[in-house]
Copies of this chain bind each other. A is one copy, B any other.
Amino acid sequence: VLHQTTSLNATIKKVCIKHPGKRRSAPADLFTTDAAEILNDEEINVVVELIDDAKAAFYIVSTALGNGKAVVSANKKMIAENLGTLLALQQQQRVPFLYEAAACASIPVIRNLEEYYDNDLLQSVAGIVNGSTNFILSKIFREQLSFEAALKQAQDLGFAESNPALDIEGTDAANKLVLLLLHAYGISSSTKDFLYNGITSIQLNDAVVAREKQYKIKLVANAVKLANGKIAAFVLPQFVEEQNQLFNVENEYNGVVIESGFADKQFFYGKGAGSFPTASAVLSDISSLRYNYSYEFKKKFHQRPPELTTDFYLNVYVSAAGAGQLKQEAFASIEESYTGPRHSYITGVIHYEKLLRSNWWKEKGVSLVLLPQPVVEDPGQKQLQHVSLLAEETV
A245-B269, A270-B265 known; A260+B288 contact, CB < 8 A: no
A280-B260, A280-B261 known; A8+B120 contact, CB < 8 A: yes
Chain B residues with CB under 8 Å of A291's CB are 296, 298, 302
A262 & B279 in contact (Cβ 8 Å cutoff): yes
Binding site for B on A (CB under 8 A): 1, 4-8, 100, 106-108, 111-112, 115-121, 245, 248, 260-262, 264-271, 276-277, 279-280, 283-284, 287-288, 291, 293, 296, 298, 302-303
What's the nearest-Cβ distance from chain B to residue A11, in Å? 15
A120 partner, pick from B5, B107, B121, B270, beta carbons under 8 A: B5
B116 & A284 in contact (Cβ 8 Å cutoff): yes
Give this chain's copy count. 2
A283 & B118 in contact (Cβ 8 Å cutoff): yes
User: CA separation between A115 and B110, bound complex, in Å?
Assistant: 12
What's the nearest-Cβ distance from chain B to residue A269, in Å? 4
B5 & A264 in contact (Cβ 8 Å cutoff): no
User: CA separation between A111 and B118, bound complex, in Å?
Assistant: 14
What's the nearest-Cβ distance from chain B to residue A333, in Å? 33
Chain B residue nearest to A100 (CB atoms) is: B116
A284 & B117 in contact (Cβ 8 Å cutoff): yes
What's the nearest-Cβ distance from chain B to residue A187, in Å? 15
A287 partner, pick from B1, B108, B118, B264, beta carbons under 8 A: B118
What's the nearest-Cβ distance from chain B to residue A121, in Å? 6
Chain B residues with CB under 8 Å of A271's CB are 264-265
A-B contact pairs, 27 of them (CB 8 A): A5-B120, A6-B120, A7-B119, A8-B118, A100-B116, A106-B260, A107-B266, A108-B112, A111-B115, A112-B112, A115-B115, A115-B288, A116-B284, A118-B287, A118-B288, A260-B280, A260-B284, A262-B277, A262-B280, A264-B270, A264-B271, A264-B277, A265-B271, A266-B268, A266-B269, A268-B268, A291-B296
A269-B269, A270-B264 known; A7+B283 contact, CB < 8 A: no
What's the nearest-Cβ distance from chain B to residue A134, in Å? 16
Chain B residues with CB under 8 Å of A298's CB are 291
A108 partner, pick from B106, B116, B276, B277, beta carbons under 8 A: B116
User: CA separation between A288 and B118, bound complex, in Å?
Assistant: 8
Chain B residues with CB under 8 Å of A106's CB are 260, 264, 266
Chain B residues with CB under 8 Å of A261's CB are 1, 5, 279-280, 283
User: CA separation between A267 and B107, bound complex, in Å?
Assistant: 9
Chain B residues with CB under 8 Å of A265's CB are 270-271
A284 partner, pick from B121, B267, B303, beta carbons under 8 A: B121
User: CA separation between A269 and B262, bound complex, in Å?
Assistant: 16
A262-B280, A268-B268 known; A118+B7 contact, CB < 8 A: yes
A111-B115, A121-B284, A279-B262 known; A303+B7 contact, CB < 8 A: yes
Chain B residues with CB under 8 Å of A280's CB are 121, 260-262, 264
Chain B residues with CB under 8 Å of A1's CB are 261-262
Chain B residues with CB under 8 Å of A269's CB are 245, 266-269
Chain B residue nearest to A257 (CB atoms) is: B269
6 cross-chain pairs, A with B, having the tightest CB-CB distances, nearest first: A266-B270, A118-B287, A267-B269, A262-B276, A5-B120, A108-B116
What's the nearest-Cβ distance from chain B to residue A10, in Å? 11
User: CA separation between A269 and B276, bound complex, in Å?
Assistant: 23
User: CA separation between A293 and B4, bound complex, in Å?
Assistant: 31
